[in-house]
Structure 1
Amino acid sequence: MTCRSTTNNTSLEIHTIMTIKSWRIITAEESWLFRAFVQTRFPAIQTPPFWKDAACALTSRSRAVDRLGVIGRFVILPETITRVGIQEETRQDNPTMGYRPPIDSYETWNGQSWADRKEVLAWGAGEKLLMRTKQSGKHHRDEWILFNDVDEPSSHDDILGLHLLQPEHGKENEVENVIFGRRQGDIRHIALSTSVASHEYKKTFQTEGLELNETDLMHGSNPILCAQFLQGSTALYHTSTDGEDVQPFAWIRPERSSRGRKAKLLSSSRIAVATMDAKDSLVVSRISPDGIFPEETIGISSQEVEDRLGDYTCQAISAIEPLNNHPLAGSPGDVFLAAWGDRKVRLHDLRSPRAYETTYEDPTDDNFIYSVRAFGHDRFLVGSGGNALIKLFDLRCTSYSYLEAQGARPKAPSNVPIAHNHGQYPSKDFNIFLSAQPPAIFNRHINSRRRRAYPYRGPIYSMSMPSPSSPTVYTGVAGGLIRLDFASTDDLTGPAKEWYDCNLNLGFDAEMKPADGSSFFTVAGYERPDQRDLSTTSKLRKQHSSWKFGLDDSRRDVVTGWDHRWEALEKPGAWRRQDG
């Protein structure tokens, strides 16, 4: 009996060991497959090594963008927000418009699953700095801070630049490091503690008393801060410099005072400056320990543009966005987007002898462009200067190939993806209206600005995404923030609802209402016709307010390719084009 028992136990142990080994082999194989899928289908998007969840999250977002599954809501400050610094202030002027919020955000994974991550969002609300720290997963927490160090504020104290230093910069877990600059020229680095509600000044960046226009930050082992001043000068700082007073390590000064100049760090070693000059409209310079050296100049000499808008307006560049994490990119800073004064976004490639490679434009909206932001691995967003309009563009829908753009220069490896569409990618060139009426409690703690009692019709000043894999876009409008989440209705309410609740954590309750007090609204928008199509009239689409749909709705959505919540257009007549 003893021998038989030992034999049985040994057999059981061997079976268990082999089962565990088989499970490990299958798990490793599954991980390898999902990793290959993510890195092939979503190139250049860095994710933590939770490959199966990463594949689900990225596929879900890509599908939502294709189907225009978008959710809009106002970011509402909670009643229990923690105040740090000066508690009460006396306003020195009476601004008639809402503040223009600079935004920054990031998310980092700090656990054993995709759901375990921390998201930090910060923005400038006039003279105040607002920050939210949200931990998802097992150790859930949601903390808000309102910081102010000005007792008698005016519009000269408005925060015009704001940047979060991310975890790789040696931060403590419960402390967020923020660099922010005020219009008057005061640029500081502070540490805000979310646990004990305190602040500490770390550094002051010297500005020679110049008025600030905006700032930019290039992350890396030694982050570089770029300050663009109202008079046209540009200063560069090393943020990791020892000491409390930080002097610029380089200046870029115009020959004459020039308002409206734009500066953007393309990489840690390249900067692009829009000069406002007709001859050399955009100057790309190399940053080195020995100074700043011009590398390339770009001017637009299109007769069509000059006849329609004039030289000066054409040369005004309002936004620049590097594509360093995009499949098109080569070395950091090679490829970038620039919004020119003729209301077109041009793709520039410094490896090419041409001034620009391709043009993206909207034939239906002639407002100035305020912001441009890369989105995912194949799209970018444009914030219009009016009508509360966000524009979605597809980088793949172009005849540009950077393999051809290099001309006689050394060719890139043959396995590098190109930008040709060739009709294989479904695409909707779509404009989204954010012209909803803010709720009465919108920015309840910001009493220094006039509140709106009507739908917003103004510009989209700024945009921020917590990470390249995030489905969330924070947009800055006059007086506050609007949050857009790209997620399909059938994902959020379908059979896999629990996975999306846990891993995307968009903050909806069982009735698909925001659980954090943010204000939800229905979105409207329209498809942009091709710029060569002069006969098609764009029709406004609206979303359903309800999240409940039947089987017929699901079948219709499969055929038309639209998300559940978009209302169907009226049946076309003989004189109308067919539409879903």
Structure 2
Amino acid sequence: MAPTILTDLPPELLDHVATYLPTAQSISRLGKASKSLHAFVEKDAWQTFTRTRFPSLHTNDPTSHKDVARCLTTLSRAWDRRAFNARYIEPQGDIRAHPGDKRLERWKRPRGQTIGFTPQLDVYEDIGPRWQDREETLAFSAGAEVCVRKKRRRDGRENVRWMTYRPLSAYEGRDDVTTLHLLRPESGAGDVGTQRLITGTANGDLRLLSLPEGPNGEVPITFFITQGLPVRSSTLLRARSEPRLLAASLGDSRINVYSVDPSYPKIGPSSSIEIRPPQASNAEQRARHQRIWSTQFLSPQRLAVGIGPSDQPIHVYDLSSSGLHQEPSRRVGLQNKNLEISRVDVSLSVPATEAKKPSSSIYPIVPLPHSSTQGTVFLSGAYDSTIRLHDLRSPRDIEQSYTDPTDDSAIYTLLPRGHEQVIAGTSRHSLLKVFDLRLGAKCYDYLDVANTASERPASNEKQTRERKDWNLFLKPHGTSNTSAAGRRGSYYSRGSHESSVYSLASPSSCSPFLYAGVENAVVELAFTSVLDRHPDPAYFLPWRQQQQHRSKREGSEVLELAMYDQTAGNVKLYTQRNLGETRRRLSGNPVGTRTLEFPRVEGGLDERWRVGSSGPG
């Protein structure tokens, strides 16, 4: 009788019913009730589910809303369980070096400096006719060289090609790449097969490259005029409906805005401004060196600049058809004006209202994605280890602050996952921090549909389980493991163990891949469980098929990392088990007589995690 009643409902009421269904399983069961409900589920209900349960992560891709729902629910489960596999990546296999279009047998990393290279990252992905058909393009810098990887995925299998570019006259240190942007190909632009990217260097070169080489054997280059000033940072306006614009900070105080057009050999700035510190009131302030640290387009009409040290380290400039305005439309401070300063020198009896304003430098600025606020809501990361949420529609400077009570490292890079989480790279210990932006509110929880003994929560776990902020060390915790770090410790372990996390990138909000640049290496995190019998087919094969298609070398490269929750006074370290040991949980021991079972980790964490051990499991 129930299906009959449902089929009599108008589509708008059926859509309203779908918003109350908490899991993909419940949507699927609704579609099995009748033919008409099946048609409704395939046409509308899956899209309603992703929009309701993943409001800031869903995509309007028309290929298959059912596939999008599977992708997001699988990815949400992996993030909740902190299930991922980490690898170092570098050019290997099919490598073409430019200029010259030479085939390399082996890629050689930069040499000749006392420290390793500091990678700059960018990545995007394109979806083919089917949701499962996609191509990911990743680029990272290695000293003066740029490495580009094209990875095509189809039915869980991958085809990988690498390109590298290094100017013939480049020297390590002097010509190191400091900024990097990938340009997505424009539809109908006739650049099929061409990958364009923008690089800026410490030597003052800012150029647009087109790879591979042109018909005359040379790499087409467009130069942006910088007057020889070092390129400190840059931001690319990616809105497809708007002209492509590039804003770059040059030297310590100049911002140039350029139009991006590969048909020109040279491009001068369309507008330029100088950002000078305010008039100093005493000798100490005059001696303080203030500079630009970051630039970021918030929208086609708004540019944010991070400076410091300053008590108002964020400047927001309006951008119009006449160019960049010379004066900021808003200066953003580090605390709200109506709040008193908590730390005051009591011995001097200084009133809070007269105390010195807090001063710091702002490194990354990132707008929150999928926002209808036209670039008014953004996050900033500071030298004082605090991440701040700002809303330009509000008179307050800060809407929310995120701090880690266990570590006070400076924030070097930020990567939001919709409005759900923000991942932060820090200045010390190769430390990655994950903060929950939702203040505990969840629209979807994989425990609602958990139906296996390893995933089913205890009777009170679902009610008491809270979303926690957590930290991850992007360095292998074991010294005797067979990972790439152990085998190549001469350059990986020294460069990445106490490194900063210089850059972060992810292809899209639906992608399970996260890339991090540490000293002398790039780390890939694939968010999936090695014991998942039904992983996302758009990205991964079932683990038994992975055994057949992977090489021994690929399997040994999976790293064993460590992490802990951000709980002051009660820090508990978790370490990852060896990949082979974990897989034997399903395949049995070498004799095959029984299946290994691991002690269950509290909080529903992935099977690879264990408490406190750093040796072999």
TM-score over 0.5 (shorter chain): yes
Shift of 1:280: 3.1
**Structure 2 match to 1:393:** 435
CA spacing shift, 1:71–1:195, aligned 2, 3 Å: farther
**Which of 124, 139, 143 pairs up with 1:122?**
139
Q: Secondary structure at the match of 2:44?
A: helix
TM alignment of 1:173-322, pairs within 5 A: 173-193=192-212, 200-221=219-240, 222-240=243-261, 243-255=264-276, 258-276=290-308, 278-293=310-325, 294-301=328-335, 303-304=341-342, 314-322=359-367
TM-score (norm 2): 0.74
**Structure 1 match to 2:457:** none
TM alignment of 1:62-461, pairs within 5 A: 62-85=76-99, 94-111=112-129, 113-137=130-154, 141-168=159-186, 170=189, 172-193=191-212, 200-221=219-240, 222-240=243-261, 243-255=264-276, 258-276=290-308, 278-293=310-325, 294-301=328-335, 303-304=341-342, 314-325=359-370, 329-397=371-439, 426-436=466-476, 439=484, 452=493, 456-461=497-502
Q: 2: distance between equivalents of 1:450 and 1:153? A: 20
Q: 2: distance between equivalents of 1:344 and 1:92? A: 33
**Structure 1 match to 2:284:** none
Q: Secondary structure at the match of 1:511?
A: helix
Shift of 1:28: 5.3
**Structure 2 match to 1:563:** 606
Gaps of 5+ in 1: 1-21, 400-422, 571-580
Shift of 1:32: 1.6
**Structure 1 match to 2:49:** 37
Q: 2: distance between equivalents of 1:427 and 1:197? A: 57
TM alignment of 1:516-555, pairs within 5 A: 517=554, 519-529=557-567, 536-545=569-578, 546-548=581-583, 549=585
What amino acid sits opposite 1:127 in the alignment?
A
What amino acid sits opposite 2:265 in the alignment?
E
**Structure 1 match to 2:456:** none
Shift of 1:281: 2.2
Gaps of 5+ in 2: 1-33, 278-288, 347-354, 442-462, 587-594
Q: 1: distance between equivalents of 2:311 and 2:529? A: 47
More deviation, 200-209/347-356: 200-209
Q: Percent identity?
A: 28
Aligned length: 505
What amino acid sits opposite 1:124 in the alignment?
S
CA spacing shift, 1:376–1:291, aligned 2, 3 Å: closer
Shift of 1:396: 0.4
Q: Secondary structure at the match of 1:387?
A: coil
CA spacing shift, 1:434–1:277, aligned 2, 3 Å: closer
Shift of 1:230: 2.8
CA spacing shift, 1:514–1:212, aligned 2, 3 Å: farther
Q: Secondary structure at the match of 1:255?
A: coil
Shift of 1:196: 9.4
Which aligned segments of 4 or more residues in structure 1 are displaced greater than 4 angstroms? 22-25, 86-93, 194-199, 305-308, 310-313, 440-444, 449-455, 506-509, 512-516, 550-555
Q: Quick check: 2:208–2:262 contact (8 Å CA) kept in 1? A: no
Q: Quick check: 2:573–2:611 contact (8 Å CA) kept in 1? A: no
Q: Secondary structure at the match of 2:50?
A: helix
Deviation sequence 1:18-69 (CA, Å, 0-9, x none)? xxxx979734532421111112212243252211111111111111111111
Q: Quick check: 2:311–2:359 contact (8 Å CA) kept in 1? A: no
Shift of 1:260: 4.5
Q: Secondary structure at the match of 2:275?
A: coil
**Structure 2 match to 1:48:** 61
More deviation, 196-205/453-462: 196-205
Q: Does 1:504 align with 2:539?
A: yes
Q: 2: distance between equivalents of 1:172 and 1:23? A: 45
Q: Secondary structure at the match of 1:53?
A: helix
Deviation sequence 1:414-444 (CA, Å, 0-9, x none)? xxxxxxxxx9984121101112277379999
What RMSD in Å do the two structures reach over aligned CA positions?
3.6
CA spacing shift, 1:514–1:484, aligned 2, 3 Å: farther
Q: 1: distance between equivalents of 2:470 and 2:488? A: 29
